[in-house]
Amino acid sequence: MPGLRREEVAALAGVSCDYYTRLEQGRHKRPSETVLYALAEALQLDDLATRHLIDLARAIAAPQRRLPKPSVQRVRPSLHRLLDTFTEHPAFIRGRRTDVLAMNKLAALLLTDFPAKPARDRNLLRWALLDEEARQRYVDWEKVVSSMVGTLRLDAGRHPDDPLLAQLVGDLSVRSEQFRRWWADHRVVERRDGIKRLDHPLVGRIDVFYEALEVTGEEAQTLFVYSTDPGSESESKLRVLADRTRSAPVESASGH
């Protein structure tokens, strides 16, 4: 909590100042969950930040081991078929590190055609940060992308030994001053539902709502489905894009 001195935090958490100091300095690597929850309460962390704190503590306490070769996430065929049935709704599956693992034609037209990109570039955060197309597409670009950075920070707490995540963070840190600033904030974000305000080159301003649904039986795969308000101008514009996907091959609206 901003403004609290170290001894005040320790007192609120019910631990000694010396113990809290050792925790801060990494000299005590196995705090109990009781202590962690007490610290979270003292610091007034919300549920998500508390879970992130516990993830970090577990990672520090875990014994060092040889890192496995990172495996490539794959989407099962039945989910590909499911995505293709959403002809009126943009939908895609996001994996670890904000990688886009699969998407339907309407999502590719609404955002960008991730499946057509090289494997390294099928990453939502990389595209949003580094591609001018994304800056033009998101009306609230800074809000959206800083939130994506918070999602990546949450993933880093859950998978601290992921070499591909470390590579992504390193690359984005070199290439984007904004990423470096947002990453240093240590903010964590879990996206469940919300609204995206888009400025699409084919139909103009369109507002879509999203729902994030965890894929059962798959680790770290989330299905995102977009919708619009019934009877709204955005619904009509989304229908125009849907008709376009049925009449022509999908390509990025900017011509990429």
Residue 168, in any domain of the structure: yes
In this structure, the answer to whether residues 55 and 93 fall within a common structural domain is no
In this structure, the answer to whether residues 36 and 160 fall within a common structural domain is no
Residue 81, in any domain of the structure: yes
Q: How far apart are the first and last CA of the chain?
A: 46
What average pLDDT does range 180-195 have in this prediction? 90
pLDDT band at 161 (very low <50, low <70, confident <90, very high): confident
Both structure tokens of 227: 């919708």
Residue 1, in any domain of the structure: no
Distances (CA, A) of 127 to 110, 130, 228: 14, 5, 24
Cα–Cα distance measured from residue 88 to residue 109, given in angstroms and rounded to the nearest whole number: 12
Q: Are 157 and 56 in contact (CB under 8 A)?
A: yes
pLDDT digits (tens, 9 = 90+) for 87-143: 999 999 999 999 999 999 999 999 999 999 999 999 999 999 999 999 999 999 999
Both structure tokens of 15: 């631990």
Instruction: Give the per-residue pLDDT at 136.
Output: 96
Instruction: State phi, psi for 202 to the nearest 5 degrees.
Output: -95, -35
Instruction: Give the per-residue pLDDT at 25.
Output: 57
Q: Are 195 and 210 in contact (CB under 8 A)?
A: yes
In this structure, the answer to whether residues 98 and 173 fall within a common structural domain is yes
Residue 149, in any domain of the structure: yes
pLDDT digits (tens, 9 = 90+) for 196-246: 999 999 999 999 999 999 999 998 999 999 999 999 999 999 999 999 998
Instruction: Give the per-residue pLDDT at 49.
Output: 66
Q: Work out how many domains the chain is built from and give that number.
A: 2
Instruction: Give the per-residue pLDDT at 180.
Output: 94
Residue 118, in any domain of the structure: yes
The DSSP line for 162-198 is: -HHHHHHHHHHHHH-HHHHHHHHTT------EEEEEE
Instruction: Give the per-residue pLDDT at 54.
Output: 61
In this structure, the answer to whether residues 48 and 106 fall within a common structural domain is no
Residue 123, in any domain of the structure: yes
Both structure tokens of 105: 């034609």
The DSSP line for 103-150 is: E-HHHHHHS--GGGS-GGG-BHHHHHHH-HHHHHHBTTHHHHHHHHHH
User: What is the extent of the structural domain holding 240?
Assistant: 77-247
Residue 70, in any domain of the structure: no
pLDDT band at 191 (very low <50, low <70, confident <90, very high): confident
Instruction: Give the per-residue pLDDT at 63.
Output: 54
Residue 234, in any domain of the structure: yes
In this structure, the answer to whether residues 120 and 237 fall within a common structural domain is yes
pLDDT digits (tens, 9 = 90+) for 115-130: 999 999 999 999 999 9
Instruction: Give the per-residue pLDDT at 256.
Output: 41
